[in-house]
A and B are shown apart, each in its own frame.
Chain A
Amino acid sequence: MKKILLIICIAVLAQQLSAQVERGNMLIKGGTVLTVTKGTLEGTDVLVTNGKIAQVGKNLTAPAGYKVIDAQGMFVMPGIIDAHSHAGLDAINEGTSPVTAEVNTGDALNPFQVNLYRALGGGVTTIHAMHGSANAIGGQCETIKLRFGVKDPELLRMEGAPRTIKFALGENPTRVHGGGGIVPRTRMGVEFVIRQAFSQAKEYMAAWDTYNKQKIQKGFRGAPPAYNMRLETLADVLRGNIIVHCHSYRADELQMMLKVCKDFGVKRIVFQHVNEGFKVAPELAAYGAMASVFSDWWAYKLEVYYSTAYNAAILTKNGVTTSINSDDAELMRHLYHEAAKTQKYGDLNDDEALSLITINPARQLGIEDRVGSIETGKEADIAIFSKHPLSIYAIPMITVVDGIVRFDRSKDPDDMRIFVDPRQSVETTTLRETRNAHEQCMEGADYMFVKMFGLNLNEQ
């Protein structure tokens, strides 16, 4: 086991050596700086050195060689973070099994997707590139920075970001897997699948702990437990090394999952979507569970009819760390609008509303000490808007990742493709994504909907 860990460590180290992230120096002058955590500072400069915020203050001077951006009359905010996205991935669902904890979207990164650039055009700098919701326990997810322009997929990773994993409750896993002897077919089944997987992981962990203790004793001879990546990953969830991000809608399943977490000692959980979160906000807050929601998107299937646009505000006021996500390449480009809706529905103040798309998603991904606000020492992921980003008239002007300008409205060419397929005919070249924008969560698993509500659709 130790050997395996060592191999992994060496591999990670080797990767970091091979991949060099580009970091820049710049001075952003005279803007209204929305720090999110430390108030709003007018006519303030932000100095960026080697990709990090070196100083926030007035009348700073740029050392030689620094890029200077004049932000007078503009608004400077931390780069937007989307806690639920499926952009930048070549595969989203390994929908063949109800439990696929071992898979990792970090293996399917595609830095050429033009969606990443379009997200930058909406001020987004970091996204949680998630596995889909076809399985009760889906795959591990990758937190990526939108360094659009890089070709090596390794350079998209937010190096050192905590590990996360996707779980899913309700209709998605039951309609993909249920029936024919395969659990889960019902919500009860979903709970069973998760409890069974955790129980097996617990046994696995115990077997390895015993073996590792015996192994160091002199003269010990014996077989190690069989290596199993699925259980190994789940054991890491139980050890608290992986944050659970759980697709969920209904209050009853939220309560169920909280109980499962409590029973197995899982402390770090973020509920995704959570349309009925407003019903159990105090319970979520008490457990320390977080919530990542849509502003006002619902009724696209039975389990999401009971919803309200006040959800984010109610959760926030009850002390739940809440974010607003997109789960969609189009919605991702105007998350600042989505955050602003909480001012109409729920009367959140500016900092509360901006937190929903900056520091709070950062907390949910465990990267709040690196990004999500404008503070000295943090990474220089910055979005510059023409007006206050919560105004409907705001236009994203410049987006900076690690001190490098990755989007500039004044230099925005028509063809941003990094990779061109010479087999594609020019006549059919389109900058539109052809895929269905909605329900990306289920992409790659749609062919498996042979059964829905107990009906075999193939026989209809």
Chain B
Amino acid sequence: MKRFYRSRICLKFMVMLALGWPALLQAQQFQQQPQEEKELSPVSRTYAITNATVFQGPGRKLDRATVVMKDGLITAVGKGVAIPPEAIIIKGDSLYIYAGFIDGLSRAGVSKPKEEANRERPKDPGNPTPELAGITPQNDVRTFLNPSDKSADDLRALGFTAAQVVPYGNMLPGSGAIIQLTGKTSDAMVLAGKSALFSELTGAPRVYPSTILAVMSKWRELYRQAVQNKNYETMYAANRAGLSRPASDRILEAFYPVIDKRIPVLFEADKYLETQRVMTLQSELGFSLVLGDVKEGWDAIARIKSSGAKVFLSLDLPEDKKEEKSKDKKEEAGTLTPAEKEALEKRKAEFLALYTGQAATFQKAGVTFGFSSLSAKTSDIRTNLRRMIKAGLTEDQALAALTTSPAQLLGLSDRLGTVDNGKIASLVLSDKPYFHEKARVRYVFVDGIMYKYDVKETPKADAGAKAEITGTWSVTTETPQGKSEETVTFKKDGSNYSGSITGGRLAQAVSLEKVELNGNALRYSYTVQVGGQSFKVDVDATVDGSSYKGSATVGQYGSFPVEGKKDPNR
């Protein structure tokens, strides 16, 4: 806990190093959309989805209804509505339509600023530049938006169409914006700029403010200085004669809209104690507060309610899996007795239930909340939603937290959140009710732009299928910077597999920690060490004869396509 603040910052750039893509950062930053001038417009911007099950909003279901969209707006919803002749018709007989989901705190579509590796400790760590100190509230996330960023595509593929996004950084990275997950330029993505001043209780690496102690006091000082400056500017503006001119200060000026309560402060407050500390700042300074990515809020509900804070709960949940017996790990001296172990397991389960039940607990307490994908693995989000539902949230409540509630919390209810005439044409269409385990998203409309998701008949994982992996494989991992080639070797001992990986960006061969072949479903993982930090890479693939296809997931930092080809000679 103590080293948390420092280590988290390190993580952010360590992971970039781990994956060895420093150039990627640069590339992303300067990909500011060269416009394709001769791109053809779609034939029509009018769509009609006919005969579908429409969930206009939580608890508002229409059977066999039609939704008509024109020029980015919903123009008709209902049975027997007239379909304009120019409309592109999508037969929705087996489809379920929902309003596009809204993510309350995210970094989808936001490029990471370039991090300098091995930054030297400044001569006077007590007086760093504001940039080193992580104090850049004057920054605007719109500067860092990248319409072709993969994270936006990933989030959209789940059904999200809008998100409040924030810049990367430490204590005060800048202001956030509400974007739609579409658009050819960064400005085209923006629905509302400067939606909130974003902040984290994160210290700066090795310079002031480096710990929670200094972050808290620096926050108070900046806020009070801003109040003081603003008051003086007001006085000066009323009558300038005889008064010295107020100095311009972009950092303090960034607080002015917060002081006027025109925008709230949006805090990343995932841990329970952070949630409490953020509310302490709010109670002292009096700004409007939004708590983002809350993971452990159940014991703070009473205070959250009295603080009037708005809440976006995290879509990240601790994994729920039985611990595997670590065979190769040395038995520690004085290992737990079965009774002790059982007692510890019980307490762990009790807390896991609190995490998964957080949303239901907030619901029961009558707190309106949305969700945040900030620290969630995209591939886990739908599973986690189902886990929350299993823990007591109803499907309607989950839908509200994805649509109407965030629309309300972000002040967008007149434009987003329901499938109603006049709203922005942002929809998600799935082939089964969305929260059904087997539901697949088939279409997403964002601002009237259609994204179609073909259900790829990828070689299906089949427990009965036979596959053989023993041997050497050439593996290509597709990273945004380019392809990375590795060599993976699998061995079989009895019924267990083992293996190793080398090449690519690995300094040396690393043995695979876990190799599982279940039918033709292949899973393996390995750990990359960079600068004393380790990053676990999980590969999930399906074997088809002498090749396999799948994805490599690096913690919460994203997943990338992987392809393996068996080397016939070895």
A103 to B344, CA, bound (A): 37
Separation of A93 and B319 alpha carbons in the complex (Å)? 34
Would you give the shortest CB distance from A333 to chain B, in whole angstroms? 21
- When the two chains form their complex, are residues A107 and B277 in contact, meaning their CB atoms are under 8 A apart? yes
Contact pattern, A 138-158, Cβ under 8 Å of B = 1, otherwise 0: 010000000000011110000
B124 and A181: CB pair below 8 A?
yes
With a cutoff of 8 Å between Cβ atoms, the chain A residues found around residue B303 in the complex are: 18, 152
Contact A108 B224 (CB under 8 A): no
**Contact status B348-A93, CB under 8 Å:** no
Does B323 reach chain A (CB closer than 8 Å)?
yes
Asked whether B221 is an interface residue with its Cβ less than 8 Å from the other chain, the reply is: yes
A111-139 interface with B by 8 A CB criterion: 131, 139
Residues on the B chain within 8 Å of A448, using CB: 125, 206
Q: In the complex, what distance in Å separates the CA atom of A18 from the CA atom of B303?
A: 7
Q: Are B210 and A443 in contact (CB under 8 A)?
A: no
Chain A residues with Cβ under 8 A from B1's Cβ? 90, 110
The verdict on A226 contacting B208 (CB below 8 Å), with A182-B124, A427-B336 known, is no
Task: In the complex, identify which listed stretch (B135-143, B186-194, B279-287, B455-463) lies at the interface while the others stay far away.
Answer: B279-287
Checking A96, A229, A443 against B206 with a beta-carbon cut-off of 8 angstroms, the contacting residue is A96
A105 on the B face (CB < 8 A): yes
Instruction: Say yes or no for A210: interface residue by CB 8 A criterion.
Output: no
**Contact yes or no, B243 A18, CB < 8 A:** no
Q: Given known contacts A180-B123, A444-B211, is B340 in contact with A153 (CB within 8 Å)? A: no
Q: Complex formed: what's the CA distance from A153 to B276 in Å?
A: 8
- Given the interface pairs A102-B217, A417-B347, A422-B318, the reply to whether A94 lies near B209 with Cβ below 8 Å is yes
Contact check, A110 vs B273: say whether CB atoms are below 8 A apart.
yes
Say whether A419 faces chain B, with CB atoms less than 8 Å apart. Answer: yes
What residues on B are CB-neighbors of A227 within 8 Å? 221, 224-225, 228
Assembled-state Cα–Cα distance A424/B318 (Å): 10
Closest to A418 in B: B299
Give the Cβ gap from A435 to chain B, nearest Cβ, in Å: 8
CB-contacts of B85-124 with A (<8 A): 121, 123-124
**B-contacting residues, A413-460, CB 8 Å:** 414-415, 417, 419-427, 429, 435, 443-444, 447-448, 450
Alpha-carbon distance A417/B343, docked complex (angstroms):
12
Contacting pair A415 B213 (CB below 8 A): no
B276-308 residues at the A interface, CB under 8 angstroms: 276-277, 280, 283-286, 299-300, 303, 306
A139-B3 Cα distance, complex, nearest whole Å? 18
B189-219, CB under 8 A of A: which get 1 and which 0? 0000000000000000011111111101100
* 9-residue interface stretch from B350-358, B473-481, B543-551, B554-562: B350-358
Chain A residue nearest to B121 (CB atoms) is: A450
Q: What is the chain A residue whose CB lies nearest that of B124?
A: A182
Task: Give B294 Cβ to nearest chain A Cβ, in Å.
Answer: 15
Q: Mark A170-181, 1 if CB is under 8 A from B, else 0.
A: 000000000011
* B242 contact set on A, CB distance < 8 A: 221
Q: Does A188 interact with chain B (Cβ within 8 Å)?
A: no
| A-contact 0/1 string along B328-342, CB 8 Å cutoff | 010010011000110
B453 part of interface (Cβ distance < 8 Å): no
The 8 A CB mask of A95-107 against B (1 = contact, 0 = none) is 1111110111101
B-contacting residues, A2-18, CB 8 Å: 3-4, 7-8, 11, 14-15, 18
Complex interface residues of chain B between 160 and 207 (CB less than 8 A to chain A)? 206-207
A223:B2 contact, CB within 8 angstroms: no
The reply to whether A108 and B228 form a contact with Cβ atoms under 8 Å apart is no
With an 8 A cutoff between CB atoms, is A65 at the interface? no
Q: Which residues on the A side are within 8 Å of B343 (C-beta)?
A: 414-415
**A217 within 8 Å of B (CB atoms):** no
Report the minimum CB–CB distance from B347 to chain A (whole Å). Answer: 5
Sorting the interface of chain A by its residue count into under 10, 10 to 19, 20 to 34 or 35 or more gives 35 or more
Cβ–Cβ < 8 Å partners of A151 in chain B? 272, 299
Closest to A424 in B: B348
Whether B228 and A226, one on each chain, are in contact in the complex, defined by CB atoms closer than 8 angstroms, is yes
Determine the chain A residues whose CB is within 8 A of the CB of B227 once the complex forms. 3-4
Q: How far is the CB of A431 from chain B (nearest CB, A)?
A: 10
Cβ contact of B244, chosen from A18, A96, A131, A223, cutoff 8 A: A223
Q: Is the CB of B210 within 8 A of A96?
A: yes
Contact A229 B273 (CB under 8 A): no
Known: A103-B217, A223-B243, A422-B348. A152 touches B209 (CB 8 A): no
Q: CB of B386 within 8 A of chain A? A: no
A228 in the interface (beta carbon within 8 A): yes
Task: Provide the bound-state CA to CA distance between A425 and B227, in Å.
Answer: 47
- Give Cα A152 to B1, complex, Å: 17
A11 to B318, CA, bound (A): 35
Q: In the complex, A92→B244 CA distance in Å?
A: 41
Nearest CB in chain B: distance from A331 CB, A: 20
Chain B window 227-261, contacts with chain A (Cβ cutoff 8 Å), 1 for yes, 0 for no: 11000100100010011101000000000000000
Closest to A99 in B: B126
Residues from chain A with a CB closer than 8 A to the CB of B286 are 7
Contact mask for chain A residues 56-100; partner B; CB cutoff 8 A; 1 contact, 0 none: 000000000000000000000000000000000011111111111
> Which residue of B2, B284, B344 is within 8 Å of A444 (Cβ)?
B2
Q: Which A residues are CB-close (under 8 A) to B228?
A: 224, 226-227
B280 pairs with A7, CB closer than 8 A: no
Known contacts A96-B208, A152-B303; A108 and B213 CB within 8 A of each other: yes
Q: What residue of chain A has the Cβ atom nearest to residue B335's Cβ? A: A427
Taking the complex as formed, is A160 at the interface, i.e. its CB lies under 8 A from any CB of chain B?
A: no
Decide: A229 and B220 in contact? CB cutoff 8 A: yes
Docked Cα-Cα span, A71 to B332, in Å, equals: 42
Give bound CA distance, A425 to B243, whole Å: 64
Verify if B508 is at the interface (C-beta below 8 Å from A).
no
Cross-chain contact A91 with B213 (CB below 8 angstroms): yes
Chain A residues within an 8 Å CB radius of B214:
94, 96, 100, 102-103
Complex: how many Å from CA A273 to CA B340?
Answer: 41
Within 8 Å CB of B2, what residues of A?
90-92, 435, 443-444
CB-CB under 8 A for A226 and B225, given A90-B2, A96-B207, A98-B126: yes
B326 close to A (CB within 8 Å):
yes
Is there an interface contact between A11 and B123, defined as CB atoms closer than 8 Å?
no
Please measure, in the bound complex, the distance between the C-alpha atom of A37 and the C-alpha atom of B299, giving whole angstroms. Answer: 41
Inter-chain contact A420/B217, CB cutoff 8 Å: no
Bound CA–CA A229/B285 (angstroms): 14
B71 at the interface (CB under 8 A from A): no
A223-B243, A420-B348 known; A107 vs B212 contact (CB < 8 Å): yes
| B206-A426 in contact (CB<8A) | no
Among B4, B224, B351, point to the contact of A420 (Cβ < 8 A).
Answer: B351
Set of chain A residues within 8 Å of B513, measured between Cβ atoms: none
- A8 to B284, Cβ gap below 8 A? yes
Whether B396 sits at the interface, judged by CB under 8 Å, is no
Q: Which residues of B contact A93 (CB under 8 A)?
A: 211
Q: Which A-chain residue is minimally distant from B343 (CB atoms)?
A: A415
Q: Is B131 an interface residue, CB under 8 A from the partner?
A: no
Q: What are the interface flags for A208-219 relative to B under an 8 Å C-beta threshold, 1 for contact and 0 otherwise?
A: 000000000000
Closest approach, in angstroms, between the C-beta of B324 and any C-beta of chain A?
A: 10
> A65 to chain B: closest CB distance in Å?
26
User: Given contacts A11-B283, A11-B285, could you give 9 more A-B pairs where the C-beta distance is less than 8 Å?
Assistant: A18-B303, A92-B2, A93-B211, A96-B214, A107-B216, A108-B216, A221-B242, A420-B351, A422-B349
Which residues of A does B touch, CB under 8 Å?
Answer: 3-4, 7-8, 11, 14-15, 18, 90-100, 102-105, 107-108, 110, 131, 139, 151-154, 180-182, 221-224, 226-229, 414-415, 417, 419-427, 429, 435, 443-444, 447-448, 450
* In the A-B complex, the 8 residue pairs with the closest CB atoms: A97-B126, A11-B284, A91-B211, A107-B216, A103-B213, A96-B208, A422-B352, A420-B351
26 A-B pairs in the complex with CB atoms less than 8 angstroms apart: A4-B227, A7-B285, A18-B283, A91-B213, A94-B208, A94-B213, A97-B208, A100-B126, A100-B213, A103-B211, A105-B213, A110-B1, A151-B299, A152-B299, A154-B276, A180-B124, A223-B243, A227-B228, A414-B340, A415-B344, A420-B351, A421-B351, A422-B348, A426-B341, A427-B332, A427-B336
